[in-house]
Amino acid sequence: MLELAILGFLYDAPLHGYELRKRIAALTGHVRPVAESTLYPAIKRLEKAGLLARTTEPGAVAAPRHVLTLTEEGRTELLHRLAEPAQRDITDENRWFTVLAFLRHLPDPTAQAAVLRRRLAFLQEPASFFYDGDRPLAAEELDDPFRQGILTIARATSRAELTWLRATLESLGG
């Protein structure tokens, strides 16, 4: 998820590490804060793999600043990760939001629709956070008001997403 966010934000424009960190935190920070100890090793891995380039600019007031840019290989990698996201990128809501944040970079509406159809198929499978054996439980079947709350909120969120997915797929012709 972190690498995808790095590639996605740099696809738009070169960024300083600090600005990149702020943008990633705005996207995912409410769920998973981005620590420097996580971000900078990921940047180094992507740089070593040839997906990012780093240049140094003189600082206006402080020390020189490093500017990160996506290489052509990085652009290709981002498009590949968006066109063929891992299954956990489809099923994990936080990872899904990261894919969704950059899906517009895929130039082909058919490829965009294929990714959305995978999410739609996942959401249409019967599921719950709570089970009776293998059978998913609905909110109405629980006595615990807190677990009912989890399922009620999840159901409303899923319905909203299903409505959006269907409308977007229709607009993409998929």
Q: What is the dihedral of CA 169, 112, 17, 26, to 10 degrees?
A: 10
Query: What tokens were used for 162?
Result: 């299903």
Q: What is the mean pLDDT of residues 11-15?
A: 94
pLDDT digits (tens, 9 = 90+) for 120-143: 999 998 888 899 999 999 999 999
Q: Tens digits of per-residue pLDDT, 30-86?
A: 656 677 778 889 999 999 999 999 998 776 666 777 899 999 999 999 999 999 999
**pLDDT of residue 28 exceeding 90:** no
Sequence-ordered strand ranges (E) for 15-125: 15-16, 52-57, 65-70
